[in-house]
Amino acid sequence: MAPIRVPDTLETDRLVLRPRRVEEAATYRRLWTERDPRVPEHRRIDAHGRPTVADIAAGVDGEPGLLAVHRRATAELIGYCGLTLHGSERSDEPELAFELLRAAHGRGYATEAGRAVVEWARESGCPRLWATVWDWNVASRRVLEKLEFDETGTVLAESTHGRSMLTVRHL
């Protein structure tokens, strides 16, 4: 498959998605502070306050497929949604990822952003997209269901954090 080209913008009725910028790192760190306590420690802010805003800023360019999600009406940054193009479970088949600030939950934004990203993947010639989700993450599982991902039955990890389940979307 040809490399996936990252778009300048993806637009939906209420949202604009575009490549993340280093200056947005404070908002991406806020997402870390809002994570559910069941999320494993390496994905949470540690006792020393790490990752810091600077740590997160340093990683922004390394994930070019994750797009900033802005509300179209206000230009407010509410999180990210996109494709993990490097380091995903299967590098030729990217993984869908999304995370929004709590204040923006419950309005259909993740589903709306996710639909635009799925369409981007389809137009790029991806045969499949993957997503992993914790069994307890009801909101995310519902978003994936609305985006027509199927549960594969594969459990990637099982621990005190829960079961990490692999889902797939055929395009």
Ligand X SMILES: CC(C)(COP(=O)(O)OP(=O)(O)OC[C@H]1O[C@@H](n2cnc3c(N)ncnc32)[C@H](O)[C@@H]1OP(=O)(O)O)[C@@H](O)C(=O)NCCC(=O)NCCS
Spatial contact of 106 and 27, defined as CB atoms under 8 Å apart: no
Nearer to ligand X, 25 or 133 (CB): 133
Taking each helix axis from N to C end, the angle separating 109-123 and 138-146, rounded to the nearest 10 degrees, works out to: 50
Stretch that binds ligand X, among 12-20, 65-73, 93-101, 152-160 (CB under 6 A): 93-101
Stretch that binds ligand X, among 41-49, 68-76, 99-107, 154-162 (CB under 6 A): 99-107
**φ and ψ of 44, to 5 deg:** -125, 160
Spatial contact of 107 and 61, defined as CB atoms under 8 Å apart: no
Nearer to ligand X, 1 or 156 (CB): 156
Number of residues that bind ligand X (CB under 6 A): 17
Spatial contact of 122 and 116, defined as CB atoms under 8 Å apart: no
> For residues 2-61, which are near ligand X according to CB under 6 A?
none
> Which residues contact ligand X (rule: CB under 6 A)?
98-100, 105-111, 133, 137-140, 142-143
